[in-house]
Amino acid sequence: MLRALEDLGDPATVTRLAEETGLHENTLRSHLEALERAGAIERRRSDVQARGRPAWLYIAVRDPEHRERTGFTRAMIRALREESAHPDEAAIRAGEEWGRGLVEGRSRRGRPERQVLELLDELGFEPEAETNLRIRLTRCPLLDVARTDSDVVCSLHLGLVRGALRAAGLSDDGVTLAPFHEDGYCRLDLQSTDDTD
């Protein structure tokens, strides 16, 4: 659906997207909401004068910084696939180093779990804690790339969390990441240091 919006280029109504994708309008609406939350599309009111309320228009987000980041990430993944027999494992190791470096450079205040949540928020994941051990990542900073290379991108993000937890003095045993678990969310399951939370 996002590719259909990108191909159209111009803002499109749900009706137009239904024609382009062959999906029912109600199905489209739930996916559009998830894409909007993820920052991949924008929604705006049509300025066309017609009876009733103006229709919502949807357009893919295309900013130069985002395109640069996406292009760089795709190039790095391509290189990783060429150089490694197990690119997902290499991505976890790279993510662990990244996460450690980000936490080690921060001032320590408050609970370590809260520090890791704040870090994920700063990186653009917009985390929502369901419980102490379960977090929804409601936005992916690399969503465009994750759609085609989720094995590497999601492994990188899993490594990031593991490295950040270790650097904050917590255990990373049992930490898992379920990509695109529900309605566009990724589910992050953490293991507490004493298994009691």
CATH number of the structural domain spanning residue 7: 1.10.10.10
> For residue 66, is it within any domain?
no
Return the percent helix, strand and coil in the chain, to nearest 5: 50, 15, 35
Strands 185-189 and 176-182: antiparallel
pLDDT digits (tens, 9 = 90+) for 115-174: 888 899 999 898 998 887 899 998 888 887 888 899 999 999 999 999 999 998 888 888
Is residue 33 located within the same domain as residue 98? Answer: no
The answer to whether residues 104 and 185 belong to one domain is yes
User: Residue with structure tokens 């559009």?
Assistant: 32
Contact (Cβ atoms closer than 8 angstroms) between residue 130 and residue 136: yes
Q: Are residues 93 and 183 in the same domain?
A: yes
Residues 97 and 29 in one domain: no
pLDDT for res 196:
39
Q: E strands, the chain, where?
A: 41-45, 56-60, 127-129, 134-137, 176-182, 185-189
Q: Are residues 41 and 91 in the same domain?
A: no
Q: How far apart are CA 158 and CA 111, in angstroms?
A: 20
Q: What is the pLDDT of residues 18-58, one digit of tens each?
A: 998 889 999 898 889 888 877 788 888 877 665 667 788 89
What residues make up the domain containing 26? 2-60
Distance CA 12, CA 86 (A): 40
User: Which residue among 60, 79, 100 closes a domain?
Assistant: 60
Most confident by average pLDDT, 7-16, 94-103, 115-124: 94-103
Q: What is the mean pLDDT of the chain?
A: 85
pLDDT: is 13 or 106 the higher one? 13
Q: Number of folded domains in the chain?
A: 2
Q: Same structural domain for residues 102 and 10?
A: no
78: tokens are 């391509």
Terminal alpha carbon distance of the chain: 39
Same domain, 96 and 164: yes
Q: Are residues 48 and 93 in the same domain?
A: no
Residues 52 and 106 both lie in one domain? no
